Amino acid sequence: MAMLLVSAPAVADSIEDEIEQRIKPVGQVCVQGEDCGDVATSAVASAGSGEPRSGEDVYNTACTACHGTGAGGAPKIGDTAAWAERIAQGNDSLYEHAINGLNGMPAKGLCMDCSEEEIQVAVDFMVEKSQ
């Protein structure tokens, strides 16, 4: 009995986490003046913690819609051929394009509440998986 009581809060926590993951709001955002076509883009809901998100977190919320699928001509994560030339231009240029946009690549991948640093770590994450 005592064992059960001790472990119950941990179980409740993990169930809560799971529910939070499932009910996370996913917004459809298309910035005015940008040609977003019919690409489904999910905006990152503010994490609310004030802590910078990891590159993987930012990627999974803001970038995977295009970079996970190749939508709109986005170089797919893990596609080394598609990334080789981009990586060759250097990180500064990749960051600059991710932050300010490049053709079909919207500024900050539409993650308007992402800091530049969060965009950079998301770029690092994609590059790491694509070389």
Regarding 46 and contact with ligand HEC (CB under 6 A), the answer is: no
Among 39, 82, 107, 112, binds ligand HEC (CB under 6 A): 39
- How far is residue 42's CA from residue 111's CA, in Å, rounded to a whole number? 8
Handedness of CA 32, 33, 38, 40 (dihedral sign): negative
Question: Should residue 31 be labelled a site residue for ligand HEC when binding is judged by CB under 6 A?
Answer: no
Minimum distance between the CB of residue 24 and ligand HEC, rounded to whole angstroms?
16
**According to CB under 6 A, which residues from 91 to 130 bind ligand HEC?**
93-94, 97-98, 102-106, 108-111, 119, 122-123
29 Cβ contact partners less than 8 Å away, ≥ 6 residues apart: 41, 42, 43, 110, 112
